[in-house]
């Protein structure tokens, strides 16, 4: 990876909306490696990311901001460490309608622990329209127990506005937090 | 998911591949989302399930790259290394065959046997 | 006499509570007494009995949650175990904000300070929430009646205290106009409050196509609009403060500098001047932000200040600026 590459990385559990989130802000059609799910994985969506998502935004300076999404499933965790290299910060998306969303968050906080320490992370909780619980307070409670001060926002990965909010918060903590 | 019968047939075909081609040390059939369907190796030395998952990542990256460049579908991906060769190829749209050889200079043999194997497997899983 | 009682306290807690009350007596702004007919009731919500009491409180009761953590984010809360400092603070705030006199509260709970007081409050250099919509909302939230808040010329706002929700016409967060700002900044003499039945509200929702918002949205907007860069008190300028949690920016309109303020105030403890300087934000904006945070209960005052020095290379800063600009460029809000 080039050292001066400007990139943001989206991670989080399967179906949380990483591919969708990148698609909602990228100016190019997202290059993704989504494949049909065999019935081995349990989810009611059709496709899953097996290598990465990739999107771009051209900045005023002419430079490019790269948006990378990781596969969500733990089986692909070797991609996580590859994709994270040189990232400005991490956006973690958690599907609130899963069996154990806080447990899911815990896994990503563990897996990306060092990277988060060095840079920063924000948490977007998706599918709160289908599953209002656990509520935000429970996430904050959990983070407090871990001694972390990361922001948590309920978002909809399909809305550009809410993805922008996550990035704004991430940049704010990188600069002022 | 594949039927029990299809799985057995794939396993038999993998055994045949290893018998017929001395260069092949291990072979796996994986779904494109990284689940193992069948595997065989000469001695139990490789983590083939992990290889299956990574194979799916690589195969779909290959597909993505060739689609970007408008080169048609990706036939195979070859990884040539100091101590061996790994080849990845499509069986059909949903399945990938991954074969591994430790012999040097075995690339041609590995590819031709694997390709034939993949083609026969395609008929099994339709 | 100010009265309160307790419910579902465990083991020695009733005795302990009584003796603590005696102990802190001199430091309280009012004389407090334990009385089983009191409307103020301290409830141990960590017990099943307390939980069900909390869900179904007696009519007119004002409940104080007693627990290790204020997980339910209720305005009246006493941390477990009881400590003198938190007890003093709670009782003094209750004395100030909650009507404890024996006569029943009027149904239409419109506070009625004199006209002169209101004029004074509006011209004051200090932001006194109780003279504005935000104060009215806070008061309604302490009660239990569904209330219609109406300001001449503006659509009504309905508050359901129990659900901590309100109903009103759809708010376009990105285009709050001057007229709407006037509503959020309305002073109490411009506001009419009336309790309504759940059925009435249901009908209004249907007929007027009202949309639900969490009360935090209205508290935030009304605090932001009424604050006008004014400190909440003379002492507020020099107080050290921090945020205990991120504001939920998904609920209200915000500017990127609000994000910066939140990020800074979660990591550092500083006074408003320090915060303004470090975040390159105007003092007014910092004051409005801290007032709003205080209203939604995420601001905490501290004795000592604590600054974590952090200097980002200039190249990074300008990169972030370009990214933010790019994101703002094409934000097409449509909801
Ligand atoms: N109802 C609802 N649907 C959402 C929300 N956010 C995303 N979605 C939908 O949820 C699905 C998310 O799928 P993806 O974007 O593929 O998820 P992913 O995180 O990339 O998943 P993997 O690649 O499998 O790890 C899409 O169908 C989205 O439209 C939300 O807040 N509410
Ligand atoms: Mg994906």
| Sequence ranges of the domains in chain B | 4-125
Do C185 and C262 fall into the same domain? no
Query: Per the structure, how many domains does chain C have?
Result: 3
Report the sign of the C-alpha dihedral through residues C120, C126, C130, C132, in that order: positive
Chain C residue with Cα closest to A7: C323
Chain B residue with Cα closest to A37: B33
Residue C102 lies in a domain: no
Under the banding of pLDDT at 50, 70 and 90, the label for residue C100 is very low
Task: For chain C, give the percent of residues with pLDDT over 70.
Answer: 94
Residues 27-66 of B with CB under 8 A from A: 31-35, 53-54, 56-58, 60-61, 63-64
A contacts of C323 (beta carbons < 8 Å): 6, 57, 59, 65, 167, 171
pLDDT tens digit sequence for C36-82? 888 899 999 999 899 888 888 888 888 899 999 888 878 889 998 88
Q: Do residues C45 and C70 touch, judged by C-beta distance below 8 A?
A: no
pLDDT at C222: 95
Q: Which two tokens stand for residue C294?
A: 């205080």
The helix or strand, by DSSP H or E, that contains position B99, with its residue range, turns out to be strand B95-101
User: Averaged over C236-260, what is the pLDDT?
Assistant: 93
Chain B residue with Cα closest to A47: B33
Q: Is the pLDDT of residue C330 over 70?
A: no
The answer to whether the bond into A134 is cis (omega within 30° of 0) is yes
Strand order across the C211-214 sheet: C191-195, C147-151, C157-160, C165-168, C211-214
Residue C313 lies in a domain: no
Q: Which two tokens stand for residue A43?
A: 């989810």
Q: Which of A140, A169, A173 is opposite residue C245, by nearest beta carbon?
A: A140
Domain boundary among C200, C225, C250: C225
A contacts of B53 (beta carbons < 8 Å): 75-76
Do C243 and C147 fall into the same domain? no
CATH 3.40.50.2000 holds for B4-125: no
Place of tokens 């909780």: A125
Tell if the CB–CB gap between A38 and B32 is shorter than 8 Å.
yes
Query: A80: domain CATH number?
Result: 3.40.50.300
**Ligand 1 atom nearest A48 alpha carbon:** 24
Q: Who wins on pLDDT, B54 or C334? A: B54
What does the pLDDT profile of chain A (177 residues) look like in tens digits?
A: 444 679 999 999 999 999 999 999 999 999 888 999 887 555 678 899 999 999 999 998 889 999 999 999 998 999 999 999 999 999 999 999 999 999 999 999 999 999 999 999 999 999 999 999 899 999 999 999 999 999 999 999 999 999 999 999 999 999 998
Q: Give residue A78's domain range.
A: 5-176
Q: Which residues of C168-187 are buried (b: 16+ CB within 10 A; e: fewer)?
A: beebeeeebeeebeebbbbb
Residue C317 lies in a domain: no
What are φ and ψ of residue C256, in 5° steps?
-55, -30
Q: Is the CB–ligand 1 distance for residue A129 below 6 Å?
A: yes
Do C257 and C179 fall into the same domain? no
pTM above 0.95, yes or no: no
The answer to whether the bond into C51 is cis (omega within 30° of 0) is no
Residue C105 lies in a domain: no
Report the C-alpha gap between B64 and B60 in whole angstroms.
6
Domain boundary among C65, C97, C129: C97
Under the banding of pLDDT at 50, 70 and 90, the label for residue C171 is confident
Query: Whose CA is closest to atom 6 on ligand 1?
Result: A157
DSSP C71: T
Do C126 and C218 fall into the same domain? yes
Do C191 and C287 fall into the same domain? no
Q: Provide the total of helices (H) and of strands (E) in chain C, helices listed first.
A: 12, 12
Q: Tell me the residue ranges of DSSP E strands in chain C.
A: 2-7, 32-34, 40-44, 62-67, 77-79, 147-151, 157-160, 165-168, 191-195, 211-214, 240-243, 299-302
A contacts of C71 (beta carbons < 8 Å): 137-138, 141
Report the C-alpha gap between C77 and C70 in whole angstroms.
7
Interface contacts A/C by beta carbons within 8 Å: 94
Query: Per the structure, how many domains does chain A have?
Result: 1
Under the banding of pLDDT at 50, 70 and 90, the label for residue C309 is confident
The β-bridge relationship of strands C2-7 and C40-44 is parallel
Q: Give residue C18's domain range.
A: 2-97
Query: C275: domain CATH number?
Result: 1.10.10
Highest mean pLDDT among A78-82, C20-24, C32-36: A78-82
Touch between chain B and chain C: 3 or more Cβ pairs under 8 Å: no
Q: Return the axis-axis angle of helices A101-111 and A136-145, rounded to nearest 10°.
A: 40
């Amino acid at each position: 990876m080039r050292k001066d590459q400007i990139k943001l990385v989206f991670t989080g559990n399967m179906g949380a909306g990483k591919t969708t989130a990148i698609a909602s802000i990228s100016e190019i059609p997202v290059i993704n490696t989504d494949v049909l799910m065999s019935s081995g994985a349990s989810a009611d969506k059709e496709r899953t990311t097996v290598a990465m998502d990739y999107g771009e935004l051209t900045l005023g300076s002419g430079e490019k901001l790269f948006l990378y999404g990781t596969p969500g499933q733990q089986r692909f965790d070797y991609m996580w460490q590859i994709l994270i290299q040189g990232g400005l910060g991490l956006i973690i998306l958690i599907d609130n309608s899963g069996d154990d969303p806080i447990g899911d968050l815990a896994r990503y906080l563990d897996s990306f622990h060092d990277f988060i320490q060095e840079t920063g992370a924000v948490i977007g909780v998706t599918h709160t329209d289908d599953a209002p619980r656990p509520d935000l307070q429970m996430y904050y409670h959990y983070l407090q127990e871990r001694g972390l001060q990361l922001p948590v926002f309920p978002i909809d990965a399909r809305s550009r506005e809410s993805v922008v909010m996550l990035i704004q918060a991430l940049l704010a903590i990188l600069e002022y937090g | 998911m594949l039927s029990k019968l299809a799985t057995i047939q794939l396993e038999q075909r993998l055994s045949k591949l290893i018998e017929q081609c001395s260069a092949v040390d291990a072979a796996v059939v994986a779904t494109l989302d990284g689940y193992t369907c069948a595997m065989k190796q000469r001695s139990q030395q490789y983590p083939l399930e992990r290889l299956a998952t990574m194979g799916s990542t690589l195969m779909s990256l290959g597909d993505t790259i060739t689609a970007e460049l408008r080169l048609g579908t990706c036939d195979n991906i070859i990884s040539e290394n100091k101590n061996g060769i790994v080849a990845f190829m499509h069986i059909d749209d949903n399945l990938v065959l991954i074969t591994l050889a430790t012999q040097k200079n075995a690339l041609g043999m590995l590819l031709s046997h694997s390709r034939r194997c993949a083609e026969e497997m395609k008929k099994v899983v339709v | 006499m100010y009265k309160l009682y307790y419910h579902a306290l465990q083991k020695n807690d009733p005795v302990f509570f009584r003796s603590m009350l005696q102990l802190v007596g001199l430091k309280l702004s009012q004389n407090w007494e334990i009385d089983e007919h009191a409307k103020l009731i301290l409830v141990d919500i960590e017990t099943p009995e307390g939980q069900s009491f909390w869900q179904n409180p007696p009519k007119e009761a004002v409940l104080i949650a007693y627990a290790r953590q204020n997980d339910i984010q209720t305005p009246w809360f006493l941390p477990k175990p009881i400590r003198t400092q938190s007890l003093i603070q709670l009782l003094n705030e209750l004395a100030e904000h909650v009507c404890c006199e024996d006569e029943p509260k009027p149904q239409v709970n419109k506070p009625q300070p004199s006209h002169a007081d209101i004029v004074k409050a509006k011209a004051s250099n200090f932001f006194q929430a109780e003279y504005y919509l935000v104060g009215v909302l806070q008061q309604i939230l302490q009660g239990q009646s569904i209330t219609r808040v109406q300001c001449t010329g503006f659509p009504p706002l309905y508050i359901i205290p129990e659900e901590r929700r309100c109903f009103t016409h759809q708010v376009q967060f990105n285009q709050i106009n001057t007229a709407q700002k006037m509503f959020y900044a309305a002073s109490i003499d411009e506001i009419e409050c009336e309790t309504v039945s759940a059925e009435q509200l249901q009908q209004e929702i249907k007929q007027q196509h009202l949309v639900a918002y969490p009360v935090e949205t209205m508290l935030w907007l009304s605090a932001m609009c009424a604050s006008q860069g004014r400190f909440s008190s003379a002492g507020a300028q020099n107080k050290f403060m921090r945020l205990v949690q991120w504001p939920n920016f998904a609920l209200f309109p915000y500017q990127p500098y609000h994000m910066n303020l939140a990020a800074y105030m979660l990591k550092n403890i500083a006074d408003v001047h320090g915060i303004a300087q470090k975040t390159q934000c105007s003092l007014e904006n910092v004051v409005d932000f801290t007032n709003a945070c205080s209203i939604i209960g995420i601001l905490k005052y501290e004795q000592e200040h604590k600054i974590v020095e952090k200097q980002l290379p200039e190249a990074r800063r300008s990169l972030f600026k370009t990214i933010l600009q790019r994101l703002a460029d094409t934000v097409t809000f449509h909801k």
